[in-house]
Chain A
């Protein structure tokens, strides 16, 4: 099968996945118990039953779920219209777009450091197997991987703000709010340190562990022995022969993680009051804002599917076996 056929098949599979996701997405939020109108207004304010009925009509909730609400929603999505958020009263696509940039900035930085540090640490640990360095790196990674996100965030927030005077929340300080971000870069950087650091620690453990086991496997291969026998230096063996082969599982994990970190950012953004998608998810869930939740989950599903596609494409370059098969 040629590379083109392979990619086409993957694309088709992705499209089918998208459709299934859309379907599940719709059903999932409709089977949630409770009444979104009550969720929007809370419990402390005086809203008459008549007013609640008006709201229900405005949201289209007075109609049956199947087929009316379903057809309505499908029709909207087909035209790229994700609907209007009930709680924020703005188009969902506009809200998501505004937050996506902030989240990408955070997870981009966090993943960048996590990948570099995690891969490097895994490489060193694998190379220096059964030494104190290996043991230390292994222990650190296992702990980092197992730590609950929320807990680590809170601890780092407390330590970072007490010891280093780092900010406790937001993307920029209140007096810089509304200014273009590039004009307040130092302030932005200060606000990014703690959430980025949290994200880095959380993901680097996983990368380190996978890299370590992968490099160990590769190092036991015959061609490594051959390379060593040829008289290549340690560094040359590692760099030219071991690394490229050991990178395959890491690429898969990174691609999958890139898709999922959008949701992983929920906890971090909540801890650091960071204005991104994660925080938006949480608000939408608390308010049972169906259109916003659906939009957000669609985006999440898309990012996972696209990340998978990317991994497949990368594989065709990294792994000759995929090309040949």
Chain B
């Protein structure tokens, strides 16, 4: 009896001892003689797989590259491309030679001067060793070689004209050659994790712990774009979003890069916290099995899906505004085109497309006119084909089950019976491509800043095992236009083609784009100000350069 109480007391004592201890050094601790260091703590839900640009796959790695490296050209918060390492650049009349003029006096974070030779060494590595520089190589397709013109000018020669050169250059981070020179095989290069990179970016990494998933950065005082006002930037990984939100609430962190849709309203109510909803590049769509009938294996689907009237009726029966309100809690926009309205500041989104208006009556009329008659059980049929569809979605996304429920109830009102089913994402990959064994699938994409990637997803060339296409859309005219837009240097001309392609997709409906979700982030506004709100996110390098303590 006594013993039991002793242990209860022991636990209580332990808890109190722990609580009474020094809190982790926050910005207000340890008064120093000079100014208190300003430490910005960022919490996020992932961790970079590597900091080697040759072989990086996770978006967290690219967030770090933007902080520690520079490219010749970089995307600005407005969506335009501006100079990075390059002060200016131009293209020859035939479109085959691009000339980049470097900013004078750029230094690496170790104090050495950046030379034109180093830039050219980088570019030629990407061109000549695609097996090693796996991720970079896709951005230099069609490059012949890079050359030093003089000590501050470099030149890139192309095989054919390239329409999205700025976008491509913005992903070619220039690395410190001495760190990357010694590798003899592609595997050696790829296994190099580069966790203490020398770069020309606004920050340098002073500590990175892969086990505890913490990255500590400090401003690079040599940075050409000015020195950040914070003294330290700490990235801490959380394994679940509830803990991340709680950490922001109690002030363990100053900034959360991802706030779940369902928690956003709550976070808005936190004292001293500003929660922002930023336009993002992601889209959620309803995929309709559009694989060609001669596809191997033969597509297994409801044959009625080939009827444009059925597709139109499905889209007409979806209340996208309702989806945004319920699923995204209002943080997003109804979907339209596969190109999100944020790309290039809205330049690439075809704003001429007339959205189909939601109307269950209209949807019913479309099906009536197309000859689908209601059977006694409330499901329509035509020529013995009943409008019964499988509706699948990946199990790893918690908003999809609800989205599916809403679709099912609307479809039921137009005589279409959809059966929802949660499927693990890897199975869903093979079900959609190459097996083509599905009717409808709810899924989403995170688009690139350039329209090229999302457009490529819908080409027939991508409908092979390991390719990106999931709907199996196949249209030779579309494929031709895709190739055409790749070589049009004139932005306005390329825009015309890109708009035309979006229109084709909208009318053929391999996808019904349901909504564009927002990028939800939040920070302690009682401690920090100056964050730049843009599609790049509050965690862009522009933002981190401006942000400062409110005290």
Q: Which of B131, B247, B448 has most chain A Cβ within 10 Å?
A: B247
Q: Are B425 and A175 in contact (CB under 8 A)?
A: no
B4, B50, B216, B239: the one contacting A273 at CB < 8 Å is B239
Q: Which of A8-16, A46-54, A298-306 contacts B (4 or more CB under 8 A)?
A: A46-54
Is A69 at the interface (CB under 8 A from chain B)?
no
Is A189 at the interface (CB under 8 A from chain B)?
yes
**Which B227-257 residues sit within 8 Å CB-CB of chain A?**
234, 236-240, 242-243, 246-247, 249-250, 252-253
Nearest CB of B to A119, in Å: 9
Instruction: Provide the residues of chain A in CB contact with B135, threshold 8 Å.
Output: 45, 47
Q: Are A271 and B239 in contact (CB under 8 A)?
A: yes
Q: Are B427 and A34 in contact (CB under 8 A)?
A: yes
B17, B19, B210, B467: the one contacting A49 at CB < 8 Å is B467
B25, B247, B424: the one contacting A34 at CB < 8 Å is B424
Q: How far is the CA of A46 from the CA of B464 in the complex (A)?
A: 15
Q: How far is the CA of A272 from the CA of B14 in the complex (A)?
A: 19
Instruction: Provide the residues of chain B in CB contact with A42, threshold 8 Å.
Output: 57-59
Instruction: Provide the residues of chain B in CB contact with A39, threshold 8 Å.
Output: 425-426
Q: Are B24 and A167 in contact (CB under 8 A)?
A: yes
Task: Given the known inter-chain contacts A121-B4, A175-B25, please indicate yes or no for A270 contacting B239, CB distance below 8 A.
Answer: yes
Is A22 at the interface (CB under 8 A from chain B)?
no
Q: How far is the CA of A270 from the CA of B49 in the complex (A)?
A: 19
Write the chain B residue with the least CB distance to A163. B19
Nearest CB of A to B244, in Å: 8
Is A116 at the interface (CB under 8 A from chain B)?
yes
Nearest CB of B to A313, in Å: 27
Is B18 at the interface (CB under 8 A from chain A)?
yes
Contact with B along A144-158 (1 / 0, CB 8 A): 000000000010011
Q: Are B18 and A190 in contact (CB under 8 A)?
A: yes
Contact with B along A107-132 (1 / 0, CB 8 A): 00000010011001101100000000
Q: Are A113 and B7 in contact (CB under 8 A)?
A: yes
**Which A86-139 residues sit within 8 Å CB-CB of chain B?**
87-89, 98-99, 113, 116-117, 120-121, 123-124
Is B8 at the interface (CB under 8 A from chain A)?
yes
Nearest CB of B to A25, in Å: 19
Write the chain B residue with the least CB distance to A49. B466
Q: Are A41 and B467 in contact (CB under 8 A)?
A: no
A58, A158, A275, A282: the one contacting B212 at CB < 8 Å is A275
Is A171 at the interface (CB under 8 A from chain B)?
yes
Q: Which of A117, A166, A273 has most chain B Cβ within 10 Å?
A: A273
Q: Are B430 and A34 in contact (CB under 8 A)?
A: yes
Is A279 at the interface (CB under 8 A from chain B)?
yes
Q: How far is the CA of A145 from the CA of B216 in the complex (A)?
A: 40
Is B445 at the interface (CB under 8 A from chain A)?
yes
**Which A61-84 residues sit within 8 Å CB-CB of chain B?**
none
Instruction: Provide the residues of chain B in CB contact with A171, threshold 8 Å.
Output: 212
Nearest CB of B to A283, in Å: 9
Q: Are B240 and A33 in contact (CB under 8 A)?
A: no
Write the chain B residue with the least CB distance to A164. B19
Write the chain A residue with the least CB distance to B423. A33
Write the chain B residue with the least CB distance to A89. B191
Is B134 at the interface (CB under 8 A from chain A)?
yes
Is A27 at the interface (CB under 8 A from chain B)?
no
Name the prevailing secondary structure of the A interface residues.
Answer: helix
Q: How far is the CA of A43 from the CA of B445 in the complex (A)?
A: 7
Q: Are B246 and A38 in contact (CB under 8 A)?
A: no
Task: Given the known inter-chain contacts A39-B426, A89-B191, A154-B243, please indicate yes or no for A166 contacting B19, CB distance below 8 A.
Answer: yes
Is B429 at the interface (CB under 8 A from chain A)?
yes
Write the chain B residue with the least CB distance to A56. B466
Q: How far is the CA of A271 from the CA of B426 in the complex (A)?
A: 25
Q: How far is the CA of A173 from the CA of B464 in the complex (A)?
A: 47
Instruction: Provide the residues of chain A in CB contact with B430, threshold 8 Å.
Output: 33-35
Is A170 at the interface (CB under 8 A from chain B)?
yes
Task: Given the known inter-chain contacts A177-B209, A177-B214, please indicate yes or no for A46 contacting B448, CB distance below 8 A.
Answer: yes
Q: Are A162 and B4 in contact (CB under 8 A)?
A: no
Nearest CB of A to B50, in Å: 8
Task: Given the known inter-chain contacts A38-B429, A165-B250, A174-B216, please indicate yes or no for A46 contacting B17, CB distance below 8 A.
Answer: no
Q: How far is the CA of A117 from the CA of B4 in the complex (A)?
A: 7
Task: Given the known inter-chain contacts A89-B191, A165-B250, please indicate yes or no for A175 contacting B212, CB distance below 8 A.
Answer: no
B1, B134, B212: the one contacting A172 at CB < 8 Å is B212
Contact with A along B361-378 (1 / 0, CB 8 A): 000000000000000000
Question: How many residues of chain B have a CB within 8 Å of chain A?
Answer: 65
Q: How far is the CA of A77 from the CA of B200 in the complex (A)?
A: 45
Instruction: Provide the residues of chain A in CB contact with B7, threshold 8 Å.
Output: 113, 116-117, 120
Task: Given the known inter-chain contacts A116-B7, A270-B240, A271-B240, please indicate yes or no for A175 contacting B467, CB distance below 8 A.
Answer: no
Write the chain A residue with the least CB distance to B8. A117
Is B23 at the interface (CB under 8 A from chain A)?
yes
Q: Are B213 and A38 in contact (CB under 8 A)?
A: no
Is A193 at the interface (CB under 8 A from chain B)?
yes
Q: Are A40 and B57 in contact (CB under 8 A)?
A: yes
Q: How far is the CA of A171 from the CA of B237 in the complex (A)?
A: 12
Instruction: Provide the residues of chain A in CB contact with B446, threshold 8 Å.
Output: 43-44
Instruction: Provide the residues of chain B in CB contact with A43, threshold 8 Å.
Output: 425, 445-446
B14, B41, B426: the one contacting A174 at CB < 8 Å is B41
Q: How far is the CA of A33 from the CA of B425 in the complex (A)?
A: 9
Q: How far is the CA of A197 from the CA of B448 in the complex (A)?
A: 45
Nearest CB of A to B396, in Å: 8
Instruction: Provide the residues of chain B in CB contact with A87, threshold 8 Å.
Output: 49
Nearest CB of A to B21, in Å: 5
Task: Given the known inter-chain contacts A46-B453, A275-B211, please indicate yes or no for A169 contacting B238, CB distance below 8 A.
Answer: yes
Instruction: Provide the residues of chain B in CB contact with A189, threshold 8 Å.
Output: 14, 17-18, 21
Is B496 at the interface (CB under 8 A from chain A)?
no
Contact with B along A187-211 (1 / 0, CB 8 A): 1011001000100100000000000
Q: Are A166 and B191 in contact (CB under 8 A)?
A: no
Instruction: Provide the residues of chain A in CB contact with B247, threshold 8 Å.
Output: 161, 168-169
Q: How far is the CA of A200 from the CA of B11 in the complex (A)?
A: 10
Is A186 at the interface (CB under 8 A from chain B)?
yes
Instruction: Provide the residues of chain A in CB contact with B58, threshold 8 Å.
Output: 42, 45
Q: Are B243 and A169 in contact (CB under 8 A)?
A: yes
Is A312 at the interface (CB under 8 A from chain B)?
no
A116, A120, A164, A282: the one contacting B239 at CB < 8 Å is A282
Nearest CB of B to A91, in Å: 12
Q: How far is the CA of A269 from the CA of B243 in the complex (A)?
A: 12
Q: Are A175 and B24 in contact (CB under 8 A)?
A: yes
Q: How far is the CA of A46 from the CA of B138 in the complex (A)?
A: 8
Q: Are A273 and B238 in contact (CB under 8 A)?
A: yes
**Which A1-41 residues sit within 8 Å CB-CB of chain B?**
32-35, 38-41
Q: Are A161 and B426 in contact (CB under 8 A)?
A: no
Is A178 at the interface (CB under 8 A from chain B)?
yes
Instruction: Provide the residues of chain B in CB contact with A48, threshold 8 Å.
Output: 138
Q: How far is the CA of A69 from the CA of B510 in the complex (A)?
A: 39
Write the chain A residue with the least CB distance to B470. A43
Q: How far is the CA of A102 from the CA of B425 in the complex (A)?
A: 31
Write the chain B residue with the least CB distance to A238. B1
Given contacts A42-B59, A58-B187, A197-B15, 12 further A-B contacts (CB under 8 A): A34-B429, A43-B445, A45-B59, A161-B252, A173-B24, A174-B214, A174-B216, A177-B207, A177-B209, A189-B17, A273-B237, A275-B213
Can you report 13 A-B residue pairs in the complex whose CB atoms are below 8 A from each other? A35-B426, A35-B429, A44-B59, A46-B138, A49-B467, A51-B134, A157-B243, A165-B19, A174-B216, A177-B207, A186-B21, A190-B21, A273-B237
Q: Which 6 A-B pairs have the closest CB atoms?
A: A34-B426, A173-B24, A49-B466, A120-B4, A168-B247, A33-B427
